A and B are shown apart, each in its own frame.
Chain A
Amino acid sequence: QQPVQSPQAVILREGEDAVINCSSSKALYSVHWYRQKHGEAPVFLMILLKGGEQKGHEKISASFNEKKQQSSLYLTASQLSYSGTYFCGTDKNSGYALNFGKGTSLLVTP
């Protein structure tokens, strides 16, 4: 079943923070986050495995609550380059296909 992402869209001014949520009704093995710019391929951001870990990559971090089957992506001090559509992908088992949400469109303005 497709994970649900929220919000659908968000507009930020440069330097502001944002949180994107991803929830599933089924048990998850891992959550994968990607960013896609228009007309381009999805770019991998990070993967979170079950165990409630939190990972970070410069000003972008994420958490995974296995019990709630939810993940959140945190973007702090946003930059213009953060604009794009963010997708979470979930899998039910290690190495299998990802089930993607519909995406969250993020626009960072000067």
Chain B
Amino acid sequence: NAGVMQNPRHLVRRRGQEARLRCSPMKGHSHVYWYRQLPEEGLKFMVYLQKENIIDESGMPKERFSAEFPKEGPSILRIQQVVRGDSAAYFCASSPEEGPYTQYFGPGTRLTVL
């Protein structure tokens, strides 16, 4: 059973460009969570999605950031007009439909904004 997959693993963007990060959950998992981690810091929750629904986006910046989890295909975290402060590791986690909702993390996407 393949784990959580994320791509790309590394992404370099110039200021003002768009970044698209993809996450495919583990087979059988319908819950997806996005977290951001700055160097030497902990994980900060951004958004929690189920298929076609955003359940909790309380950790998502109000502007430039959006997320989706369509019926078909991976979850996408989109950052428009990136700034240097967006440079971080972005981790996706998935959990199964039923409890105890253990979250399994993907390898992350390391975004560098030049």
Contacts and interface: CB of A to CB of B under 8 A. Distances in A.
Interface of A: 2, 30, 32, 34, 40-44, 47, 49, 87, 89, 94-103
Interface residues of B, number: 24
Interface of B: 31, 33, 35, 41-45, 48, 55-56, 59, 91, 95, 99-108
Contacts of A87: 42-43
A97 B56 contact: yes
B42 A96 contact: no
B33 A42 contact: no
A102 B107 contact: no
Contacts of A96: 48, 55-56
Of listed B43, B59, B99, B108, residue having the most chain A CB within 10 A: B43
A50 to B, nearest CB: 11
